[in-house]
Amino acid sequence: MPELPEVETTRRRLEPDLVGQTFTAVTIRWPRSIMTPVAALLTILPGLKIESLDRRGKYLLIRLSQNFTLCLHLKMSGQLTIEPTSTPPHHHVRTAFSLANGSELRFRDSRKFGRVYLVENVDEVVGTLGPEPLGHDFTAKSFLALCHSRKGRLKPLLLDQHFIAGIGNIYADESLFQARIHPGRAISSLSTREVSRLYQAIRHVLDQAITLNGTTLDDVYPDGAYQNHFQVYGRRDQPCHSCQSMIQRIVLAGRSTHFCPHCQKST
DNA sequence: CTAAAATCCTGGTGGC
DNA sequence: TGCCACCAGGATTTTA
Protein backbone atom coordinates (compact mmCIF):
# COMPACT_ATOMS: atom_id res chain seq x y z
CA MET A 1 0.00 0.00 0.00
CA PRO A 2 2.58 2.55 -1.01
CA GLU A 3 1.44 6.08 -0.22
CA LEU A 4 3.33 9.32 -0.55
CA PRO A 5 6.07 8.51 2.02
CA GLU A 6 6.76 5.11 0.48
CA VAL A 7 6.92 6.48 -3.06
CA GLU A 8 9.18 9.29 -1.92
CA THR A 9 11.46 6.83 -0.15
CA THR A 10 11.52 4.70 -3.30
CA ARG A 11 12.39 7.75 -5.37
CA ARG A 12 15.32 8.61 -3.11
CA ARG A 13 16.55 5.02 -3.09
CA LEU A 14 16.48 4.63 -6.88
CA GLU A 15 17.70 8.07 -7.86
CA PRO A 16 21.48 7.52 -7.51
CA ASP A 17 21.38 4.30 -9.51
CA LEU A 18 19.08 5.50 -12.28
CA VAL A 19 20.00 9.06 -13.15
CA GLY A 20 22.33 9.08 -16.13
CA GLN A 21 21.38 5.57 -17.21
CA THR A 22 19.87 4.76 -20.60
CA PHE A 23 17.08 2.27 -21.23
CA THR A 24 17.91 -0.45 -23.74
CA ALA A 25 14.87 -2.73 -23.71
CA VAL A 26 11.55 -3.48 -22.01
CA THR A 27 10.14 -6.87 -21.09
CA ILE A 28 6.41 -6.87 -20.44
CA ARG A 29 4.87 -9.82 -18.66
CA TRP A 30 1.52 -8.29 -17.72
CA PRO A 31 0.45 -6.07 -20.61
CA ARG A 32 -2.69 -4.85 -18.83
CA SER A 33 -0.52 -2.75 -16.53
CA ILE A 34 0.83 -0.77 -19.49
CA MET A 35 -1.44 2.20 -20.04
CA THR A 36 0.43 3.43 -23.10
CA PRO A 37 0.16 1.43 -26.34
CA VAL A 38 2.57 -1.44 -25.73
CA ALA A 39 4.16 -1.14 -29.16
CA ALA A 40 4.91 2.52 -28.49
CA LEU A 41 6.59 1.72 -25.18
CA LEU A 42 8.71 -1.00 -26.77
CA THR A 43 9.90 1.23 -29.60
CA ILE A 44 10.21 4.62 -27.91
CA LEU A 45 11.80 3.79 -24.55
CA PRO A 46 15.03 2.11 -25.77
CA GLY A 47 17.63 4.83 -26.19
CA LEU A 48 16.03 7.30 -23.82
CA LYS A 49 18.22 8.58 -21.00
CA ILE A 50 17.08 9.11 -17.41
CA GLU A 51 17.54 12.72 -16.41
CA SER A 52 15.87 12.89 -12.99
CA LEU A 53 13.36 11.25 -10.66
CA ASP A 54 10.38 13.20 -9.41
CA ARG A 55 7.26 12.33 -7.48
CA ARG A 56 3.72 13.65 -7.75
CA GLY A 57 1.30 12.26 -5.19
CA LYS A 58 1.79 8.51 -5.32
CA TYR A 59 3.24 8.57 -8.83
CA LEU A 60 6.94 8.14 -9.47
CA LEU A 61 7.97 10.23 -12.45
CA ILE A 62 11.10 9.19 -14.31
CA ARG A 63 12.07 12.15 -16.48
CA LEU A 64 13.68 11.12 -19.74
CA SER A 65 15.44 12.64 -22.70
CA GLN A 66 13.35 13.99 -25.58
CA ASN A 67 10.81 15.27 -23.04
CA PHE A 68 9.35 11.86 -22.29
CA THR A 69 8.34 10.79 -18.79
CA LEU A 70 7.86 7.27 -17.52
CA CYS A 71 5.15 7.37 -14.85
CA LEU A 72 4.79 4.48 -12.42
CA HIS A 73 2.03 3.88 -9.89
CA LEU A 74 2.71 1.10 -7.38
CA LYS A 75 -0.90 0.84 -6.23
CA MET A 76 -1.32 -1.92 -3.63
CA SER A 77 1.64 -4.21 -3.93
CA GLY A 78 4.12 -2.66 -6.34
CA GLN A 79 7.84 -2.64 -5.59
CA LEU A 80 10.75 -1.39 -7.66
CA THR A 81 14.17 -2.98 -7.55
CA ILE A 82 17.39 -2.64 -9.50
CA GLU A 83 19.14 -5.93 -10.09
CA PRO A 84 21.73 -7.34 -12.47
CA THR A 85 20.14 -8.68 -15.62
CA SER A 86 21.80 -11.98 -14.82
CA THR A 87 19.79 -12.37 -11.60
CA PRO A 88 16.67 -14.46 -12.29
CA PRO A 89 13.63 -12.22 -11.80
CA HIS A 90 11.16 -12.86 -9.02
CA HIS A 91 7.94 -14.58 -10.01
CA HIS A 92 5.98 -11.36 -9.48
CA VAL A 93 8.06 -9.14 -11.75
CA ARG A 94 5.53 -7.80 -14.25
CA THR A 95 7.75 -5.46 -16.25
CA ALA A 96 11.54 -5.23 -16.53
CA PHE A 97 13.34 -2.18 -17.90
CA SER A 98 16.83 -3.05 -19.10
CA LEU A 99 19.57 -0.47 -18.63
CA ALA A 100 22.74 0.09 -20.57
CA ASN A 101 24.95 -0.77 -17.58
CA GLY A 102 23.72 -4.38 -17.45
CA SER A 103 21.18 -3.95 -14.71
CA GLU A 104 17.39 -3.86 -14.80
CA LEU A 105 14.74 -1.76 -13.14
CA ARG A 106 12.18 -4.37 -12.14
CA PHE A 107 8.54 -3.68 -11.36
CA ARG A 108 7.35 -6.39 -9.02
CA ASP A 109 3.65 -6.43 -8.20
CA SER A 110 1.83 -9.47 -6.87
CA ARG A 111 -1.66 -8.02 -7.19
CA LYS A 112 -1.20 -6.59 -10.67
CA PHE A 113 -2.79 -3.24 -9.82
CA GLY A 114 0.34 -1.25 -10.64
CA ARG A 115 0.35 0.97 -13.71
CA VAL A 116 2.96 2.18 -16.21
CA TYR A 117 2.63 5.20 -18.51
CA LEU A 118 5.04 6.67 -21.04
CA VAL A 119 3.97 10.19 -21.96
CA GLU A 120 5.30 13.48 -23.27
CA ASN A 121 2.79 15.49 -21.28
CA VAL A 122 2.69 14.34 -17.65
CA ASP A 123 -0.54 16.24 -17.11
CA GLU A 124 -2.23 13.40 -18.96
CA VAL A 125 -1.41 11.29 -15.90
CA VAL A 126 -1.15 13.66 -12.94
CA GLY A 127 -2.87 16.78 -14.23
CA THR A 128 -5.98 16.49 -12.09
CA LEU A 129 -4.28 15.66 -8.80
CA GLY A 130 -4.79 17.88 -5.79
CA PRO A 131 -1.96 19.80 -4.14
CA GLU A 132 1.23 18.21 -2.84
CA PRO A 133 0.70 18.12 0.92
CA LEU A 134 4.38 18.80 1.63
CA GLY A 135 4.73 21.42 -1.10
CA HIS A 136 5.57 25.04 -0.41
CA ASP A 137 2.34 26.24 -1.93
CA PHE A 138 0.23 24.00 0.30
CA THR A 139 -0.31 26.40 3.18
CA ALA A 140 -2.74 26.55 6.07
CA LYS A 141 -4.51 29.30 4.20
CA SER A 142 -4.80 27.38 0.93
CA PHE A 143 -5.96 24.29 2.81
CA LEU A 144 -8.70 26.29 4.48
CA ALA A 145 -9.87 27.52 1.10
CA LEU A 146 -9.72 23.97 -0.24
CA CYS A 147 -11.87 22.78 2.66
CA HIS A 148 -14.46 25.42 1.90
CA SER A 149 -14.65 24.20 -1.69
CA ARG A 150 -15.65 20.63 -0.89
CA LYS A 151 -18.41 18.71 0.86
CA GLY A 152 -18.55 15.30 2.44
CA ARG A 153 -16.94 13.33 5.22
CA LEU A 154 -13.30 13.74 6.05
CA LYS A 155 -12.11 10.19 5.50
CA PRO A 156 -13.31 9.88 1.90
CA LEU A 157 -11.98 13.35 1.14
CA LEU A 158 -8.51 12.59 2.46
CA LEU A 159 -8.41 9.50 0.25
CA ASP A 160 -9.50 11.54 -2.79
CA GLN A 161 -6.36 12.25 -4.81
CA HIS A 162 -8.08 15.23 -6.46
CA PHE A 163 -8.50 16.79 -3.01
CA ILE A 164 -4.93 16.22 -1.78
CA ALA A 165 -2.40 14.04 -3.58
CA GLY A 166 -0.58 11.19 -1.90
CA ILE A 167 -2.61 10.30 1.20
CA GLY A 168 -3.86 6.72 1.52
CA ASN A 169 -5.63 4.71 4.16
CA ILE A 170 -2.80 4.56 6.68
CA TYR A 171 -1.87 8.23 6.72
CA ALA A 172 -5.49 9.39 6.53
CA ASP A 173 -6.27 7.55 9.76
CA GLU A 174 -3.05 8.63 11.46
CA SER A 175 -3.52 12.27 10.43
CA LEU A 176 -7.08 12.37 11.74
CA PHE A 177 -5.96 10.88 15.04
CA GLN A 178 -3.21 13.43 15.40
CA ALA A 179 -5.67 16.21 14.59
CA ARG A 180 -8.09 14.68 17.15
CA ILE A 181 -10.95 14.72 14.62
CA HIS A 182 -13.38 11.87 13.98
CA PRO A 183 -13.05 10.43 10.43
CA GLY A 184 -16.81 10.56 9.87
CA ARG A 185 -17.06 14.30 10.46
CA ALA A 186 -18.41 16.40 7.62
CA ILE A 187 -15.74 18.79 6.43
CA SER A 188 -18.29 21.61 6.64
CA SER A 189 -18.57 21.04 10.39
CA LEU A 190 -14.90 21.79 11.09
CA SER A 191 -13.96 24.93 12.93
CA THR A 192 -11.11 27.02 11.61
CA ARG A 193 -9.04 25.74 14.50
CA GLU A 194 -9.79 22.13 13.53
CA VAL A 195 -8.88 22.76 9.90
CA SER A 196 -5.60 24.18 11.12
CA ARG A 197 -4.98 21.14 13.31
CA LEU A 198 -5.70 18.82 10.39
CA TYR A 199 -3.32 20.75 8.17
CA GLN A 200 -0.53 20.53 10.72
CA ALA A 201 -1.28 16.84 11.34
CA ILE A 202 -1.12 15.90 7.65
CA ARG A 203 2.20 17.67 7.21
CA HIS A 204 3.68 16.26 10.39
CA VAL A 205 2.55 12.68 9.83
CA LEU A 206 3.82 12.56 6.23
CA ASP A 207 7.07 14.24 7.17
CA GLN A 208 7.74 11.85 10.02
CA ALA A 209 6.82 8.89 7.83
CA ILE A 210 9.37 9.94 5.22
CA THR A 211 11.97 10.37 7.94
CA LEU A 212 11.28 6.77 8.97
CA ASN A 213 11.47 5.54 5.35
CA GLY A 214 7.74 4.87 5.23
CA THR A 215 5.69 1.91 6.42
CA THR A 216 6.59 -1.73 5.92
CA LEU A 217 3.64 -4.14 6.05
CA ASP A 218 3.62 -7.74 4.86
CA ASP A 219 7.17 -7.26 3.51
CA VAL A 220 5.71 -5.35 0.58
CA TYR A 221 8.10 -2.54 1.04
CA PRO A 222 11.64 -2.59 2.46
CA ASP A 223 13.19 -0.80 5.40
CA GLY A 224 10.24 1.28 6.63
CA ALA A 225 9.77 1.88 10.35
CA TYR A 226 6.62 3.99 10.56
CA GLN A 227 4.52 0.91 11.34
CA ASN A 228 6.16 0.96 14.76
CA HIS A 229 4.63 4.39 15.35
CA PHE A 230 1.02 3.68 14.41
CA GLN A 231 -1.44 5.28 16.82
CA VAL A 232 -4.62 3.87 15.30
CA TYR A 233 -4.08 2.10 11.96
CA GLY A 234 -4.42 -1.66 12.39
CA ARG A 235 -4.82 -1.27 16.17
CA ARG A 236 -8.45 -2.32 16.56
CA ASP A 237 -9.30 -3.28 20.15
CA GLN A 238 -5.89 -2.16 21.36
CA PRO A 239 -5.57 0.65 23.90
CA CYS A 240 -5.08 4.19 22.69
CA HIS A 241 -1.56 5.32 23.48
CA SER A 242 -2.97 8.60 24.75
CA CYS A 243 -6.07 7.68 26.79
CA GLN A 244 -6.14 3.85 26.93
CA SER A 245 -9.59 3.69 25.30
CA MET A 246 -9.96 0.83 22.83
CA ILE A 247 -9.25 1.80 19.23
CA GLN A 248 -12.29 1.20 17.05
CA ARG A 249 -12.54 0.05 13.45
CA ILE A 250 -15.40 1.06 11.21
CA VAL A 251 -15.90 1.11 7.44
CA LEU A 252 -16.08 4.48 5.71
CA ALA A 253 -15.92 4.99 1.97
CA GLY A 254 -15.62 1.23 1.76
CA ARG A 255 -12.29 1.37 3.59
CA SER A 256 -11.28 0.20 7.03
CA THR A 257 -11.06 3.22 9.29
CA HIS A 258 -9.41 3.28 12.70
CA PHE A 259 -9.90 5.88 15.40
CA CYS A 260 -9.97 6.52 19.12
CA PRO A 261 -13.57 7.18 20.22
CA HIS A 262 -12.36 9.27 23.15
CA CYS A 263 -9.61 11.38 21.59
CA GLN A 264 -11.38 11.96 18.27
CA LYS A 265 -14.67 13.72 18.90
CA SER A 266 -17.47 13.18 16.43
CA THR A 267 -18.99 16.62 16.90
C1' DC B 1 -22.07 18.02 -6.96
C1' DT B 2 -21.66 13.65 -3.36
C1' DA B 3 -21.91 8.83 -2.48
C1' DA B 4 -22.19 4.11 -2.62
C1' DA B 5 -21.12 -0.07 -5.01
C1' DA B 6 -18.78 -2.74 -8.33
C1' DT B 7 -14.43 -3.67 -10.53
C1' DC B 8 -9.70 -5.21 -10.95
C1' DC B 9 -6.24 -8.95 -8.48
C1' DT B 10 -3.83 -12.40 -5.44
C1' DG B 11 -1.68 -13.76 -1.06
C1' DG B 12 -2.98 -14.60 3.32
C1' DT B 13 -6.29 -15.97 6.78
C1' DG B 14 -9.90 -18.30 9.24
C1' DG B 15 -13.27 -21.91 9.43
C1' DC B 16 -14.17 -26.64 9.21
C1' DT C 1 -3.87 -31.40 5.73
C1' DG C 2 -6.82 -29.60 2.35
C1' DC C 3 -10.35 -26.92 0.61
C1' DC C 4 -12.71 -22.72 0.10
C1' DA C 5 -14.92 -18.42 1.04
C1' DC C 6 -13.52 -14.06 2.17
C1' DC C 7 -10.88 -9.88 2.62
C1' DA C 8 -7.69 -5.80 1.89
C1' DG C 9 -7.14 -1.80 -0.69
C1' DG C 10 -6.00 2.63 -4.85
C1' DA C 11 -8.30 4.40 -8.26
C1' DT C 12 -11.71 4.24 -11.83
C1' DT C 13 -16.23 3.33 -13.49
C1' DT C 14 -20.97 2.76 -12.90
C1' DT C 15 -25.25 3.68 -10.76
C1' DA C 16 -28.20 6.40 -7.80
- The nucleotide whose C1' lies nearest the CA of A170 is C9
**DSSP code, position A22:** B
Model pLDDT for residues A4-58, shown as the tens digit of each residue: 999 999 999 999 999 999 999 999 999 999 999 999 999 999 999 999 999 999 9
Predicted TM-score (pTM) of the model is: 0.95
pLDDT of residue A219: 62
Residue A25 near residue A98, CB atoms below 8 Å: yes
Q: How do A255-259 and A248-252 pair as beta strands?
A: antiparallel
Say how far A48 CA is from B2 C1', in Å: 43
b/e code A133-149 from CB counts within 10 Å (16+ = b): beeeebeeeebbebbee
- Does nucleic acid strand B have an atom less than 7 angstroms from the CB of A196? no
Q: pLDDT tens for chain A, 267 residues: list them.
A: 799 999 999 999 999 999 999 999 999 999 999 999 999 999 999 999 999 999 999 999 999 999 999 999 999 889 999 999 999 999 999 999 999 999 999 999 999 999 999 999 999 999 999 999 999 999 999 999 999 999 999 999 999 999 999 999 999 999 999 999 999 999 999 999 999 999 999 999 999 999 999 988 766 666 788 999 999 999 999 999 999 999 999 999 889 999 999 999 887
Q: Chain C bases under 7 Å from protein CB?
A: 8-12
SS3 (DSSP) at A14: helix
Q: Within window 160-199 on A, which residues have Cβ closer than 7 Å to strand C?
A: 161, 168-170
pLDDT of residue A224: 85
- The nucleotide whose C1' lies nearest the CA of A33 is B8
